[in-house]
Amino acid sequence: MVVGPITGCGTESAVNETPGTSTPAVQDKSTDIVVIGAGGAGMTAAIQAVQDGAKNVVLVEKMPITGGNSVRSTGGLNAAPTKYQERDGIKDSIELFVEDTMKGGHNLNDESLVRTLAENSAAAVDWVNDIGGDLSVVGMFGGASVKRIHRPSDTSAVGPMLVTTLNNKVEELGIPVLLNTKAEEILVDANGAVTGVKVTGEEGTYTIKTKAVVLATGGFGANAEMVTKYKPALAGFATTNHKGATGDGIVMAEKIGAGFVDMEQIQTHPTVNPTDQTIYTEGVRGNGAILVNKEGKRFINELETRDVVSEAILKQTEGQAYLLFDQEVRESLKAIESYIKGGIIVEADTIEGLAEQIGVDPANLKETMEKYAGYQASGSDPDFGRASMEFPLTQSKYYAGLCAPAVHHTMGGVKINTEAQVLNTDGNPIPGLFAGGEITGGVHGGNRLGGNAVADIVIFGRIAGSAAHAYVMENGGTTEPTIQAAAKPAEAKPEVEANYKDGTYTGVGQGKGGEIKVEVVVKDGEVIKVTLKDHAETPGIFENAEEGVVGEIIRKQITEVDAVGGATMTSEGIKAAVAQALEAAK
Ligand code: ADP
């Protein structure tokens, strides 16, 4: 998705022109908080600061558009325990989230940051939804013990949804975004406290005087030189990153004495199309796809962590593999449609036909697929120990996408504490400097789990925004609250005020396979639970519809919600059943 530039959403009062000092032609400006980088973390920080009451916040973005790498993220946001998990009967906890993240990161992670991530994760999902986003479907992702990743209800990629939501909110709040404006240097006084940012925009180079800076410049995955400086083994690797991910923040922070952590920890994404660098979201494997090598054989538990899967692919012929799935998997995940449209997926009516097209031995592939269907039926994979096998992969058509690992996420970065303050090389906070998102290190340790980058962006973006505002207020900021605390997630109201009679109701709707019966629980006037009792829908498609539609109904407190793509009739059946049940609750 291309995100258009935000223009004209700033207010004059937010960036005050002051007499120029750097060049006669370009006037310096002044504000309270400069957020460097308008990706996911930066926009989140700016919004949160304003929601906390900050009046003078400005976003500086070097590219002509907002969104950075964030717009490319395909998975979702890991959170626990959430109301959506509860709705689906998923037992999860902060402890388990911490445990999985530490284990996934080879225990290199800063546990205090991981704990902060987990503790604030459920509120982060609510926050995104409250500002107009959609994270209501819970799915399985590599490295997580339970379904924990929260995704849009239409199963599309999370990045475009998140960035559009943040763009809209930034615009609504009137936060100025200076596009095509590159931060060059963070200015500090004799005590090391932040005093301003030197930037170069279309009009030239000037200084934005400020009390606080939130560094949200993202990673350095598109800076091949920096990548190989920290991890020489990655020389020559392709990258999944947008071209602005050049590590500018690392250079700026280093210059003012910031400490760094885990710089050599650079993650490769295991399933990237080698021709056009499209990332096949981990959700494809999570929803049932397998990986086969050019000999037509599986070689790894596909749901292993990214580092393990990447390494396994690199050991196969030509360092590549095929992501393989069937019609049922295709229909379970909207993101797959974009890969098919993009021409990077080969399809055939039979497994042999597919094998021929991708140049793999048909007998081998057939044997692999039959074996896998048997494992799926028995629920046990004696070859590689894959725990979750969603579909038997026996429903024509069959699909394959070539993939190989590419540089994906730079897990190291500036050292922060749980307040998102940037620490100097002695471990003390640099006054007025905060950071969130991929620029920081410590959260992911030696391996980031899918779903933890978006969690990181939203959670530490919010913490950085709040902390920067609090710092400004302590240091004579000009801000005063403009948005009441009621806008905070905890006090958030549903989009539509519900007023049903409390009780438990049943209803029936017509799905694709027959009747769908539901039980609806209303408490304090709101629908709090929808349980699907009986149905004859296709497994998988049904669960998708259930997750998407039920989540939306609870979130919006109305039954006129969007149907889930690929499961329209089932969705409509569920909606009709809930509507019938609620008739009695009016
Ligand atoms: P995160 O996921 O941490 O939010 P993103 O990659 O999504 O990271 O966003 C980082 C943003 O910061 C990108 O839009 C990028 O163009 C921007 N950026 C990077 N360096 C600079 C810089 N020197 N000045 C202004 N913006 C920058």
Task: Look at 15 and 90; give whichever has higher pLDDT.
Answer: 90
Q: How far is the CA of 511 from the centre of ligand 1 (A)?
A: 46
Residue range 490-516: mean pLDDT, rounded: 71
Task: Look at 270 and 237; give whichever has higher pLDDT.
Answer: 270
Residues 6+ apart with CB under 8 A from 501: 522, 525, 585, 586
In terms of pTM, does the model score above 0.85? no
Q: How far is the CA of 37 from the centre of ligand 1 (A)?
A: 4
Supply the pLDDT for residue 553: 79
List the structure tokens of 104. 């996934």
Task: Look at 236 and 188; give whichever has higher pLDDT.
Answer: 188
- pLDDT tens, 58-81? 999 999 999 999 998 888 999 999
Percent of the chain with pLDDT over 70: 89
Q: How far is the CA of 243 from the centre of ligand 1 (A)?
A: 10
Amino acid at 285: R
Residue range 190-208: mean pLDDT, rounded: 96
Region of 415 (left: φ > 0; alpha: ψ -120 to 50; beta: rest) is beta
Task: Assess contact for 37 and 216: CB atoms under 8 A.
Answer: yes
The rounded distance, in Å, linking the Cα atoms of 170 and 177 is: 8
Supply the pLDDT for residue 488: 29
- 3-state DSSP call for residue 266? strand
Report whether pLDDT(3) > 50: no
Report whether pLDDT(414) > 70: yes
- Atom of ligand 1 at shortest distance to CA of 66? 14
Task: Assess contact for 33 and 214: CB atoms under 8 A.
Answer: yes
Supply the pLDDT for residue 351: 98
DSSP tag of 492: P
Q: How far is the CA of 3 from the centre of ligand 1 (A)?
A: 14
Rounded to 10 degrees, what is the CA torsion of 492, 494, 496, 498? -120
Q: For this structure, is 448 an active site residue?
A: no
Task: Assess contact for 446 and 111: CB atoms under 8 A.
Answer: no
To test the pocket of ligand 1, the residue of 62, 77, 197, 410 to mutate (highest count of ligand atoms within 8 Å of its CB) is: 62
Amino acid at 344: I
Exposure string of 349-361, with b = 16+ CB inside 10 Å and e = fewer, is eebeebbeebebe
Sorted by where each starts, the structural domains of the chain and their CATH numbers stand as 30-265+411-474 (3.50.50.60), 268-407 (3.90.700.10), 503-583 (3.90.1010.20)
Task: Find, among 439, 67, 56, 25, the residue nearest to 200 by Cα.
Answer: 25
Measured N-to-C along each axis, helices 111-119 and 121-130 cross at an angle, to the nearest 10 degrees, of 50
End-to-end Cα spacing for the chain: 41
Supply the pLDDT for residue 568: 76
- Atom of ligand 1 at shortest distance to CA of 461? 4
Nearest CA, atom 13, ligand 1: 68
The rounded distance, in Å, linking the Cα atoms of 46 and 131 is: 13
Q: How far is the CA of 306 from the centre of ligand 1 (A)?
A: 24
Mean pLDDT for the chain overall:
89
Helix (H) or strand (E) holding 169: helix 158-173
Helix (H) or strand (E) holding 423: strand 421-423
Q: How far is the CA of 246 from the centre of ligand 1 (A)?
A: 9
- pLDDT tens, 278-327? 889 888 999 999 999 999 999 999 999 888 999 999 999 999 999 999 99
- Atom of ligand 1 at shortest distance to CA of 182? 24
- pLDDT tens, 369-383? 999 999 999 999 999
Name residues contacting ligand 1 (CB within 6 A).
36-42, 60-63, 68-70, 182-183, 216-218, 244-245, 248, 437-439, 457
Nearest CA, atom 17, ligand 1: 37
- DSSP for 376-416 reads HHHT--TTT--------S-SS-EEEEEEEEEEEEE--EEEB
Task: Look at 488 and 439; give whichever has higher pLDDT.
Answer: 439
Nearest CA, atom 8, ligand 1: 218
The rounded distance, in Å, linking the Cα atoms of 200 and 181 is: 5
To test the pocket of ligand 1, the residue of 34, 65, 167, 217 to mutate (highest count of ligand atoms within 8 Å of its CB) is: 217
Task: Look at 236 and 150; give whichever has higher pLDDT.
Answer: 150
Q: How far is the CA of 454 from the centre of ligand 1 (A)?
A: 14
Supply the pLDDT for residue 547: 63
Report whether pLDDT(563) > 80: no
* Token pair 């797959």: residue: 336
Q: How far is the CA of 63 from the centre of ligand 1 (A)?
A: 8
- DSSP for 507-544 reads EEEE-SSSEEEEEEEEETTEEEEEEEEE--PPTTHHHH
State the pairing for strand pair 515-523/77-78. unpaired
In degrees and rounded to multiples of 5, residue 427 shows phi and psi of 90, 10
List the structure tokens of 525. 């006037």
Exposure string of 467-499, with b = 16+ CB inside 10 Å and e = fewer, is bbbbbbbeeebebeeeeeeeebbeeeeeeeebe
Catalytic residue among 72, 87, 306, 386: 306
Nearest CA, atom 23, ligand 1: 183
